[in-house]
DNA sequence: TTGACGATAGTCT
DNA sequence: GACTATCGTCAAC
């Protein structure tokens, strides 16, 4: 077991900085007695204020987005298209509304449990590629909405920093009309040449 | 290998 | 009633 990231890491005010630093870190869950973990290979930054594509934009504060405005260092889980769970990390101080969406991870521990949850028999990159798949493989559900990342159920561990030259920055994807202008912001980050990133290589 | 499209249900207008 | 931070499948190239 590694060491949990310290709480003040999540209070950094620049969400893009956090997103870059989260790459390569180890996301862990301990659910139903099973430990699963994986390195973060792809994520996206969401700014609460100047970002139309963010749920919390424009002070769009509803019961669903309530956790968004809490102090950084907790998880925000959301169901998309009625079927897919998405896992976000809330950052910055309270009432801001910044978050980082975890899009893909590279499996480390509990691979068999992940396969089982995903209903697969053999290891294939799609097991943890894409935000919906990450949550399914890790066992993350609405139960974990608002959970502290210092808990023993869901947390992130320190790991070596990914060198900047291996980080690719590009536009966000998968946001239809809502994104319009802001969907083109360069706020998606991934580790170059990693198999567990949406795109080519299947 | 790439692109289009439907499923599906919670949330907001 | 419309929209959605997706996935998997299928068809065309």
Task: Evaluate if the CB of A176 falls below 7 Å from strand B.
Answer: no
pTM: 0.93
SS3 call for A162:
coil
Task: Evaluate if the CB of A84 falls below 7 Å from strand B.
Answer: no
Quote the CA–CA distance of A196 and A103 in Å, as a whole number.
9
Structure tokens at A176: 């239809």
pLDDT (0 to 100) of residue A201: 43
Task: Evaluate if the CB of A29 falls below 7 Å from strand B.
Answer: no
Give A127's pLDDT tier (boundaries 50, 70, 90): very high
* pLDDT tens digits, one per residue of A174-191: 655 554 455 557 889 999
Q: Mean of the pLDDT values across residues A50-76? A: 87
Percent of chain A with pLDDT over 90: 80
The residues with which A104 forms a beta bridge, in sequence order, are A42, A129
């Amino acid at each position: 077991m590694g060491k949990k990231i310290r709480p003040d890491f999540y209070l950094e005010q620049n969400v893009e900085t956090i997103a870059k630093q989260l790459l390569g870190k180890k996301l862990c869950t301990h659910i139903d007695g099973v430990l699963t973990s994986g390195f973060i290979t792809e994520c996206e930054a969401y700014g609460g204020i100047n970002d139309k594509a963010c749920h919390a934009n424009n002070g769009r504060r509803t019961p669903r987005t309530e956790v968004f405005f809490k102090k950084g260092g907790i998880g925000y889980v959301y169901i998309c298209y009625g079927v897919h769970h998405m896992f976000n990390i809330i950052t910055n101080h309270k009432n801001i509304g910044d978050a980082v969406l975890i899009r893909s991870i590279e499996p480390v521990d509990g691979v068999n449990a992940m396969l089982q949850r995903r209903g697969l028999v053999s290891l294939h990159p799609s097991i943890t590629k894409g935000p919906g798949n990450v949550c399914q493989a890790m066992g993350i559900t609405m139960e974990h909405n608002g959970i502290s990342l210092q808990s023993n159920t869901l947390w992130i561990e320190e790991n070596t920093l990914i060198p900047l030259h291996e980080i690719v920055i590009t536009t966000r994807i998968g946001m239809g009309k809502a994104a319009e202008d802001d969907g083109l912001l360069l706020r998606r980050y991934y580790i170059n040449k990693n198999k567990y990133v949406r795109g080519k290589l299947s």
